Structure 1
Amino acid sequence: MDLIVPESGLVIWQALGFIILFILLAKFAWGPIISALDEREQAIESAILAAENARNEMANLKSQNETLLQEARLERDQLIQKASEASARMIEEAKEEANKVGAQMIENAKAVIETEKQAALAEVRTQVAILSLQVSEKLLRRELKDTASHKALVDEFVNDLKLN
């Protein structure tokens, strides 16, 4: 039974030891332990605040990044549109220039053809005049007695001229 019910002297010494241990712990250990716990709590709170600030800053940076990307895409689209318009304008100008050059070439060709035509007509007139002189010469050399052959020769000459 002694083990279950302690003696009163033992209880007093245990209580006295506990009180002395409590006073020593309160004086030397609890202060540093409490201050260490407070420092740790403050460090954790500051780390949480820093993480929250970093998260907010990342959100702001992400928002700014999205804005910059949006602006870059818009600028890219504008540049592509301007390049496309410039390309279309250059193509249209090239077509117009080609049409002008083609029209000028056609006009030049028509002028050359007209000049050649006039030269050919002048040549034909010259040939007709020469042939007329030759016919006249042949007619004069023949005897003018036969008017029927003279008339047939002139008619033949006129028909040859109409065919050419």
Structure 2
Amino acid sequence: MELLLPEIGLLFWTLLAFLIVFFILKKYAWPAIVKGLNDRENSITEALATAEKVKLEMAQMKNDNEALLAKTREERGVILKEAKEIKDKIVNDAKEEAKAAAAKIMADAQSTIQQQKMAALTDLKNQIGNLVIETSEKVLRKELSNKAEQEDYIKVLASEVKLN
């Protein structure tokens, strides 16, 4: 029962001990505890401010990256378009050169054919002329009295002639 109804002396000494501990804690411990809590609160506030700043910077970097990516895609499209135009130009130039070369070859071939044709005709005319001269010469050398014999002889000579 003493604990439920303590004596005045016990109460006095307990109160005195409590007040001494209270004043010592108030003078030495609480300022350190309060300073630590304030420091902790300041560091948390600074960390939150830094986090918010980093978040804003990340958002800005994301926007910059998206703009850079869009610009890069646009440049890629331009480069691809230019490459296609260059390819088409090269192909068209090659086709035009091939057509021009083919036309030149055809013209040269036709010119050569025409020259050979003219040479063959000239040669044929010369051979026919020579044959006519030879035939005429043979006819004149032979003196025939009969016109029928002369025509028979001409037919024999004409059948002997071989065209080269």
The number of residues matched between the two structures is 162
Q: Which residue of 2 aligns with 1:17?
A: 17
Matched residues in 1 for 2:141 and 2:83: separation?
Answer: 85
Gaps of 5+ in 2: none
Matched residues in 2 for 1:115 and 1:60: separation?
Answer: 81
1:137 and 2:137 matched: yes
Name the SS of the counterpart of 1:143 in structure 2: coil
Residues 103-129 of structure 1: per-residue CA shift (max 9 Å, x gap): 011001101111111111111111111
Q: Which residue of 1 aligns with 2:30?
A: 30
Matched residues in 2 for 1:52 and 1:27: separation?
Answer: 38
Instruction: Report sequence identity in percent.
Output: 38
The offset of 1:133, in angstroms, is: 0.4
Q: Which residue of 2 aligns with 1:109?
A: 109
Name the SS of the counterpart of 1:71 in structure 2: helix
For the aligned residues, what is the CA RMSD? 2.4
Aligned ranges for residues 49-68 of structure 1 at < 5 Å? 49-68=49-68
- Could you tell me the TM-score, scaled by structure 1's length? 0.87
The offset of 1:66, in angstroms, is: 2.2
Name the SS of the counterpart of 2:33 in structure 1: helix
Q: Which residue of 2 aligns with 1:91?
A: 91
Gaps of 5+ in 1: none
Q: Which residue of 2 aligns with 1:81?
A: 81
Q: Which residue of 1 aligns with 2:125?
A: 125
In structure 2, the CA distance between the partners of 1:107 and 1:79, relative to structure 1 (3 Å rule), is same
Matched residues in 2 for 1:92 and 1:51: separation?
Answer: 60
The offset of 1:149, in angstroms, is: 4.1
